[in-house]
Amino acid sequence: MATPRIVVLDGYTLNPGDLSWAPLGALGQLEVYERSTRAELIERARAAELCITNKAPLDAGVIGRLPALRYIGVTATGTNVVDKAAAAARGIVVANVPSYGADTVAEHTLALMLEGVKHLSAHLALGRAAWAHQPDFSVSAGCLSLLAGKTLGLVGFGAIGQRVAELGLAFRMQVLVARRESSRRVALPGVSHEPLDSVLSRADIVSLHCPLTPETESLIDAARLQQMKPGAILVNTARGGLIDEAALAAALSSGQLAAAYLDVLSSEPPPADHPLTRHPRCHVTPHVAWASVEARRRLLEVSIDNVRAFLAGTPANRVV
């Protein structure tokens, strides 16, 4: 059998240089590109049988111009960068990496929640710049509060949502999960399942952990933001498109919400005039919840295992 040509279209965020592509290179003729524009990826992948992508989009138009393509590996859990119908029509296998980052995303979620009640970044800045010039031994940058005793509302209860629930319980929070009638209920001691409207109205902190689908796009819109408890905090480490961002900016400006802590936006990187990146009540990290070295190593390992399984004729983690 001829050595397959494997092209990584946008490998930089997964592996900025601290991991090794060598195990993937052992499986075929490998080319790794840090980033690819649409025009570049068509040229680079024109003769490829296997394409590996994270965010480089493989839509129907692109797939139609890649005649040798037999396999698309997505180095992520979400596969919305691939036109799966177009891939299926061509008999192209599409595989992803499920559940590689539950711990890292859950820990980042908890860090954002702690920032929301402890204002750690502001107090670190005070400790560096202003404490030496204050008359008192203790200097506060704002009202400090506890996670303990607060109500955490989770929208989405897959592997990440369940891990966040466990962390919330460890911090002695009351944990509510928005119930979907069509989904299987995951039983976790100490966790209550309620309708979404009830969760939004009762939670001090609402954290999003559901996939972006046509049904969940702009799930948190102006009406649902008004349902939230006045002074609540919204956390999103899932997908930016879950939130109507203009409506969120308005809810923050009006004081309906105390703050929002986001790791994702609907457009990444965001435009300079994005309504949330400079809002004083919105705090944004640049889509790094997934990116611990341990999670990236696991992501790369499973992506390579997926390629190995495909070449062996037994595709793993197949979504198409």
Q: Is 274 a catalytic residue?
A: no
| Ranges under pLDDT 50 in the chain | none
Return the pLDDT at 78. Answer: 86
DSSP labels, 21-33: -HHHHTTSEEEE-
Domain formed by 102-284, architecture? 3-Layer(aba) Sandwich (3.40)
Domains 5-100+293-311 and 102-284 share a fold: yes
In this structure, are residues 64 and 287 in contact, taking their beta carbons and an 8 Å threshold? no
Return the pLDDT at 14. Answer: 97
Domain boundaries along the sequence of the chain: 5-100+293-311, 102-284
Q: Is 239 a catalytic residue?
A: yes
Return the pLDDT at 175. Answer: 98
Q: Is 287 a catalytic residue?
A: yes
Q: Which of 5, 287, 308, 318 is catalytic?
A: 287
Half-sphere exposure of 167 (CA within 13 A, CB side): 23
- 5-100+293-311 has which CATH code? 3.40.50.720
Q: Which of 239, 245, 283, 296 is catalytic?
A: 239
pTM for the whole structure: 0.92
Return the pLDDT at 184. Answer: 61
In this structure, are residues 44 and 31 in contact, taking their beta carbons and an 8 Å threshold? yes
CA-nearest of 220, 228, 295 to 262 is 220
Q: Which of 40, 268, 278, 294 is catalytic?
A: 268
